[in-house]
A and B are shown apart, each in its own frame.
Chain A
C-alpha cells in the first residue's frame, strides 16, 4: 500500500493504482475523456492534468501511478488554467449540436464545459467539418463531435478483440472510421456507443426518442443467454427506449453483446399476444380470461377424472423466471398430480448438471467469472464462446490478453480474422477438429496426462484403482488412431496436456458443441476426469464450467422443472428430499415417474398423455421435423400454451394464454455460474398478458388446489424455505465446493459403470466425399426465436445464411450471396451463402434462429443416460443452384 495526499486528503492505495483512480476512490473527481478503468491508459486528451508536488510540470493523472508521499493537487490555478485551455481547444472544433445531440444531458464535454470553461472562445476560425458517411443501420457517428479520445477504438480492440474501428487522419482531422467501404460490420456490442464520452457515436435504434432526464430506469437481467448480464432498460411513457449497463454493475461489468444492447424491442413486437385465445370450431378466437381459464380448468378436471393425473404432462421454457418455474412445477405436481415435467434445460444444460452432480456432487460451477479471469490455463471445448456466451467470452479474452493466461481450444472453427472476434485466434494451442471428434482430443489429452506422468500424486494415492482403470483405458487407445481422428499430432496434445496439468489454476469451459451433441454427457464426465487426473479439481479457482445457453437453464434445473429433479435440485426418488418438500408443501408428492421431453412427446403420440401444459416452450419450432413433435401434440385432447407469440406450438393449442415477457415482470434468473439475480419490471404488461406464475396460480384456484401468492417476492421466499439462501443478494456468486464424499464415491466406483463407453475412441464415421456436415448453431446476433422479433437484431441478421469455407465454395463454384441447395435423404433447403474463413472445410454452418427449413434435414438421437435430444447436425450434399 502506498500513502499519498490528494487535495489535502490522506489516501492509501495499492501500489500501481493510477492517481485518477485513487482520487476517485477518495471522492475527488478529476475530469477526463480518454481514461476509462476498463482500458489501458492512453493519456491523449490532457484533460486530467494535476499538480504534483516536486514535479515541475502538470502531470496526467490517468497515467501516473501513485507513489509514496506524493502530494497531488487537483484544483490549483495552474490546473484550472489547464482545464480551460484543453476545453477551449476541444471546443474550437466542436459543433453547437447539443440541442440535437442524443448525448445532451449526459455528456462529459457538456458537464466539463459547464464547470471549467470561460463561456467565450478566442478561436474565430471556421470549424472542422467532416463529410458524413453512412456508418451502419444501428450505430450512428457524428465525427464533428468527436474529441479523439480513442476510447471506442481501444475498447473495440482491447476488450472486444474485434478491432473494427480505427482513427484515420492526423491532428484535429483525426476521424474514427471502420475499415471497409461497406457499412460497419462488427459484433455490434454497442460498447463504442456506451464508452464514447460525447455524442460522436450513438445508437440509431433510439435516436432522437428521448432526453436522458425523461427516462425511467429498471435494472434487470438480459434474457438472451446464460451469462446473465445486468442491463438497465430505459423506458419513456411505457415504451422501451434503450438498454445500457454501467461499468461496475452486474457480472458483465459494463459490457454487453449485440443481443443485450440492441435486442430489447422483441418484447413490444406488434405480434405479441394480447388476449387469451380459445379454439372454437377449429379456429383460435379471442376470449376473456374467465372463459379461457374456466375452459382449461373444466377440461382438466374432466380429463383427470377420465384418465388420471398421469395423462398430463408439462413443458416449460427456461427463459421463464425462477418464480414461474417454481410455480409451474408446483402446479403440475400438486394441482395436477404428475411428475411428467421437463424444460428446455433438457436440450443440453442437463448434461452439464448431471455430470457435475455425478462427479463432484454440485449442480453449479465450482468456479466464477473471476476465476476464469484469474486462471492460468483455460481449456475451451466445443464452444464458439463469442457467439453463444459473449460475456463469458470476454472473461476469457481478459484472462488471455490482460493476464496472459494460456488458452487451449478444441472446436470446429479455425483461427481466422473476421468481422467478429474468434476465440481460437487467442489460443496457444487450438485443435480444430470435426464436431463429432472433440472427444478424441480430450481422450488424447488424458492419454498424454497418464503417459507423461502428469497425474496428480495426491490422486494417485487416494484412488489408485481409478487412476489405474483410466490408465488402462487410455493405454488401449493408439496414438496413430487418435492422430488420424483429430488431425493433430501427439506432440501437440502432449504439450497442451502439460500446460494444463502444470498450470497453477486451470479452468475447463464446455459449450454447446459438447453439451448438445451426441455423447455430450460422457464427454463432460471425461473432462471432469481430466481435471481430477491433473489435480485441477477441487482446488480453489479450478473446475469445470458448462456454459448455459438460455438465460435461466440453471434455474430450470434448480427449480426442479426437469424430469429427474425436485426443487433443490433433489433427486425425484430421494425419500428424504420428498419427505422434506412434502412437509413444506403440506401435501403428498405424486408418485409417478418423471418424463423427459422426448419421452413425453412419444407418450402423447401413443395417446398415453392426453393433456399438456406448455409454457413458453416451442417443441414444434425447436425440434427437427424428424422428432414429429407436431404429430404428437396434435393428438392431445388438451394443449394449453402460455406464450408471448403465436408460435408453431401455440398454433396447435386449444387454449393460448398471453404471458408477460421478462421486461414486464418481476422475478429472478439464475445465470450460468449459479448467481441468482433480480429481474425487474420495466414496462406494464402488454395487452392483457400476465406473468406465467399468475396464470398458473389462477388456474390452480379454479381447479380447487389453490397455490396463491401475493407477488413474486413471496414465491422467492417459499423457494428459500426449500433451498436455504436462494437468491439472497450478494456481491457475486459464492460457488459451492465439490462434495468430497461424492468425489470419493465417484473415484471408488462411480466412474466404472460407463468407463468403457466413455473411453472408447469410436471410429468416427468416415465422411463420404462431397458430403458436408451441416451444423445448426446459435449466432451472435440472435437467441432462440424470441430475438427474431427484435427490430434491432433483424437489422444485423434477418435471414438464414449458410456459412461456408471459401475453398469449399470455390469448389462448388459459388461465392458470397449465391444460393445453394442443401439436401439429404430427409429433405432439402435452399439458402444464400456467406464465405467465412473461420469455418473449416467440409463444414456448413446455419443459424438455428431461421431454421424452419433446415430442421427438415436433421435427425434426432437421444442420449442413453440423460435423454438429451441431439439434433444439431446432419450430413448433407450441397449443390450450386
Chain B
C-alpha cells in the first residue's frame, strides 16, 4: 500500500456565507501525479491553498504529511513546493536572485542554495537568462522560473495551480515536458487545470470538480470508460437543420447524445458505423468527425457543460 501524503475528508472552505469547497474527500499517494480538473470557480485554487497551508479549512479533516496544517503550517510548508495560479516572482530582481531569496526563506545555507539554483536553472532551460531581470521574460519563461523556484527546497509534494494556463501551445509543451521529467524522478505532483489534455497527459489519477464538489474520480482511463463510450461521433448541421437533426437523433440515442449550440455529439462504440445509421435516417450532416472519447466528454456528460467556453 503506497504511503498517503495528503488525506482530506469532508474538506470545506467558506468565504463569508459562500461555500467554495463543499465537503470533498481524496487521498494523495507518494509518487503519483494527482489532478483537479474543473471549470472556473469550481474551487480548485481554494483547495490548493488549503493543502498549501496558507488558508485554514472551514470544516472537515485535512492531514498533510501526517501533520495538521493549522498547527504545523510552517513545518509542512518547508516540505512543499508551490506554483501558484498567479506568478509571484519579484520582477525587479534577476532570474537567479529570485531563486536565491526564495531559498533563504527556507533557511537553507547559501552554498546549497547557489548549487541548487544553478542546477534548477539548467533544468528549466533558463541558464542563459540567469542574470537578466525577470520583468521582460515571456510568460512561459516566468512559469518555468516559478517551477524552478518551487523546487529549491527539494519538496516532498509539488503543488501546481494551473501550471500552463495562458501560455501558447509551444510554451505549454515545454512546461509539460519539465513536469513529466519531475514525475519520472518520482516527485509527487498535485495539479489543477481546466485543460483536459493537460490532465490526460500528466495525471495518474484525477478528480473532476464542479460547483465546489467532486463529481467523479479515477484514472483518466477509468473516467472515460465509466462516463463515456469508446468513440464519439461529432456532427454539424447547417444552422436551419440543427434543431431538427438534433431532435431526430435524440429519439434514436436518447441517453447518449449531447447537443451544444453548434454541434451534436453521439456517444457510440463505433463512430463510422453510427454515421451510416445517421445517414440511413435520411439526415445529411454538413460535416462529421469520429474520434476517441476524452475527459472533455466525461465532463460534458457529468455536468452538461463544456470545460472551457
A binds B: no
